[in-house]
Amino acid sequence: MSEKRIRSALISVFYKDGLDDIVRKLHSLDIKIFSTGGTFGFIEGLGIPAEKVEDLTTYPSILGGRVKTLHPSVFGGILARREIPEDLQQLTKYKIPEIDLVIVDLYPFEETLKSTTDNGEIIEKIDIGGISLIRAAAKNYNDVLIISGREQYPVLLALLNEKNGITTLDDRRHAAAVAFQTSSHYDTEIFRYFNRDAGIQAFRESINVSYPLRYGENPHQKGIFYGDPGSIFDKLHGKEISYNNLLDLDAALNLIDEFDRTTFVIIKHNNACGVASRDNAVNAWKDALACDPVSAYGGVVVTNTPIDENTAVEIDKIFFEIIIAPEYSPVALEILKQKKNRIILRRKKSERDEYTFRSMLGGVLWQQKDNSTESAHEMKPVTTRIPGAEEYDDLVFANIIVKHSKSNAIVIAKNRQLCASGIGQTSRVDAMKQAIEKAGSFGFDVKGAVMASDAFFPFADSVEIAHKAGITAIVEPGGSVRDQDSIDYCSSNGMAMVFTGIRHFKH
């Protein structure tokens, strides 16, 4: 029979907020309530009659509350199949009441993990009885309705008010699906905690929060973001954020976080088309835009400094999709809001991911995040001439940008400004030529500029092209069997070259 009337309920919850209205409604529907420990005290405080689980099991809560509901008198009433006479006969024989509704709110393991590093406290917040109740009630969804978390209290209250204690099979099956989502997420977080030390080679991720998107990478593709953008930024203005917007935002934030100086970055299709570090925001913006004003159109703008009125006036002169900054002056915000679809985000302080993963060939590729950023003293000179102080400054700057560019990648920089980059090329020579040609097309004189490569040069042809363009210093990982060819060419032509020993492929 699809419809079932709720005649009895078991309530065992950690958080009681919002529970009072449900308890009163259950009482008004003449539904018998069984409850545990603190929940029983809460219900009793409302003046609503309830029966202690201890009275049902004839066993007290033991082991400091670790064992309360783990008993056949509880689980028999939940798991009994009402359509099977033998099950009902056993309930009668052992005086076990049927339980039609189970309400559980688990110990807050995840919240505890965020608030303490005390292993003993964390372990005690691993719920045993509650998770067992959830699984049992969900398994027997044919007869039992399971509410597996306080976020479902409003749903239950609406159901009780609408149907006066009657549930359908669809109601119960949907609640069971939510319950297994709750239990699987809970277990995943516990496993991840233990696996910090265990090193078990198994992939587990669980994200309960989802953010609907207009579409995926293209309009004909469905797209959803699993995560909470609100933990990263506040949306102050503009249209809905898209799949591609999120990709660009991720690239933008990864890059801007590398800079300590006041910096603006402009991202297009996950690559930087404008970067400049200056003493103030206005100049940083103007010089970032000058890198490639054509590609900047429709891009994503990010900065690590508050945006004032003067900077907002300059930024407002071009069309772009998104701007994200740590803060905006009130006047600056009003200026930027003049375009109704422009997305304006205020960044929050948050921890960035320590690893990355992507779906691949029916599986998942996992890796640690590339958190290596080489400073000047970590760059090893390998040529006769050693870079000067300003060259070192630019080499570090260029190496940061190339690290965040699609391979094969070459970056040319001068005076802490991106001149041009060659990105996503199948050969390093093509990337080199693309960068030089692009720099020239926007009026950059690359004489005295530096160059960064995300990987080693297999031959000396790239450094020869760089020298002929006027580039004076190069940073690369090194590691080619022909490294000496490039070193010798640079030394014989007065160029400086440094090795980092760290490759920065990005695919």
Nearest of 393, 400, 432 to residue 416 by alpha carbon: 393
**Annotated catalytic, 269?**
yes
H helix or E strand, kind and range, residue 290: helix 281-291
Distance CA 460, CA 30 (A): 86
β-pair type (224-226, 210-212): antiparallel
The one-character DSSP state at 229 is G
Beta-sheet strands, E only, within 213-351: 224-226, 233-237, 262-268, 271-278, 300-303, 322-325, 343-347
Q: Which two tokens stand for residue 165?
A: 């204690």
Under DSSP, is residue 174 helix (H, G, I), strand (E, B) or coil? helix
H helix or E strand, kind and range, residue 421: strand 418-422
Nearest of 422, 503, 421 to residue 458 by alpha carbon: 503
Annotated catalytic residue, options 16, 139, 163, 174? 139
Task: Write the CB contacts of 249 (distance below 8 Å, at least 6 apart in sequence).
Answer: 241, 300, 302, 322, 324, 345
Q: Which two tokens stand for residue 455?
A: 């990987």
Cα 484 to Cα 384, 466, 471, distances in angstroms: 12, 17, 19
CA 11 to chain centre: 34
Q: Are 382 and 497 in contact (CB under 8 A)?
A: yes
Q: Which two tokens stand for residue 12?
A: 């065992």
**Annotated catalytic, 139?**
yes
Annotated catalytic residue, options 269, 286, 337, 339? 269
Under DSSP, is residue 286 helix (H, G, I), strand (E, B) or coil? helix
Task: Write the CB contacts of 506 (distance below 8 Å, at least 6 apart in sequence).
Answer: 370, 403, 404, 405, 406, 407, 409, 454
Q: Are 219 and 242 in contact (CB under 8 A)?
A: no
Distance CA 433, CA 438 (A): 8
Name the residues annotated as catalytic.
139, 269
